[in-house]
């Protein structure tokens, strides 16, 4: 039986782990929950614990054994479950490929815009059959992004403070032709999971920011991504190091988690708004 959170015990920040980021050993674990929502169950059990005295909820996006492909992740259920246990701010960790030479493998990027090229994901009508025309001018929480950037500076972690992430369907990677198209449109990194995760956060009124770790260059820089053992070993080493750096940054963000205010993320967008237009 799931007990609803109280003012005294609810997690105040949620962390969603991406590929390779399946647990958060820095947390002092209190319990694990997997609340059922009207959209089903979240990807996996949610670990609730504390870090530096701050309450945290951690959820692995793909499941603890990476069993969920990007287009199979229950994005809406994930956000609903986090909301249900009291989370009102979320940082989603993810991996990306770079579309620009200046954004190098091993760098972190703080996206401020996305382009959605996915299809068939659970971003349609809600459980009650209603839908909303959700404003997405600024899809990421500016307050939360500023806080992450500040902590990255304090830890001397290299971070690109903005970037356009193009979200592809996956699970396959881009062709060179597709990658050329992305570059021509001046997009910065490519990913498979940012949409509709960021969308559902905004719909639910949750402050959301992403920390995107660059593993390699996309296909347009194909000389960097040839399928050789040596190159794949470099990608793997970068991937593992990125997880360490991302966790270090997130711990700093958690321990100095601000009382956010002044943003529009928690504004409720209701269908009734359109009735008299």
Taking CA atoms, 185 is separated from 139, 188, 199, in Å, by 19, 9, 22
Cα separation of 101 and 95, whole Å?
17
Q: For the chain, give me the number of helices (H) and strands (E)?
A: 5, 11
Catalytic pick among 44, 112, 216, 226 = 216
Cα separation of 132 and 270, whole Å?
7
Q: Is 31 helix (H, G, I), strand (E, B) or coil?
A: strand
- What tokens appear for 248 in the block? 């270090």
Cα separation of 72 and 212, whole Å?
20
Cα separation of 213 and 126, whole Å?
31
- What tokens appear for 237 in the block? 């080493």
Cα separation of 102 and 104, whole Å?
6
- What tokens appear for 13 in the block? 């920040």
Catalytic pick among 218, 226, 237, 276 = 218
Provide the Cα torsion 52, 4, 145, 190; round to 10°: 110
Q: How many CB atoms lie within 10 A of CB 276?
A: 5
- Determine whether 218 is an active site residue: yes
Residues belonging to the active site: 216, 218
């Amino acid at each position: 039986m799931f007990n609803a959170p109280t003012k005294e015990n609810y997690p105040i920040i949620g962390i969603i782990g991406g590929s390779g980021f399946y647990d958060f050993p820095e947390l002092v674990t209190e319990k694990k929950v997997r609340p059922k929502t009207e959209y089903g169950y979240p990807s996996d059990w949610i670990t609730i614990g504390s870090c530096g005295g701050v309450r945290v909820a951690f959820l692995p996006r793909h499941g603890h054994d990476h069993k969920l492909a990007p287009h199979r992740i229950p994005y809406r259920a994930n956000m609903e479950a986090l909301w249900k246990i009291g989370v009102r701010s979320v940082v989603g960790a993810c991996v990306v490929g770079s579309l620009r030479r200046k954004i190098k493998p091993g760098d972190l990027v703080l996206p401020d815009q996305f382009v959605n090229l996915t299809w068939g994901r659970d971003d349609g009508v809600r459980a009650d059959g209603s839908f909303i025309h959700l404003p997405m001018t600024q899809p990421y929480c500016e307050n939360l992004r500023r806080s992450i950037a500040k902590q990255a500076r304090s830890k001397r972690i290299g971070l690109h403070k903005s970037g356009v992430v193009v979200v592809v369907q996956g699970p396959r990677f881009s062709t060179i032709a597709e990658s050329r198209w992305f570059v021509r449109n001046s997009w910065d990194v490519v990913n498979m999971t940012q949409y509709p995760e960021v969308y559902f956060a905004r719909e639910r009124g949750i402050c959301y920011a992403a920390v995107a770790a660059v593993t390699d260059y996309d296909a347009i820089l194909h000389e960097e991504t040839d399928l050789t053992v040596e190159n794949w070993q470099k990608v793997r080493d970068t991937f593992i190091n990125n997880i360490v750096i991302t966790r270090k940054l997130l711990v700093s963000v958690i321990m100095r988690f601000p009382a956010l205010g002044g943003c529009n993320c928690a504004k409720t967008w209701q269908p009734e708004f359109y009735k008299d237009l």
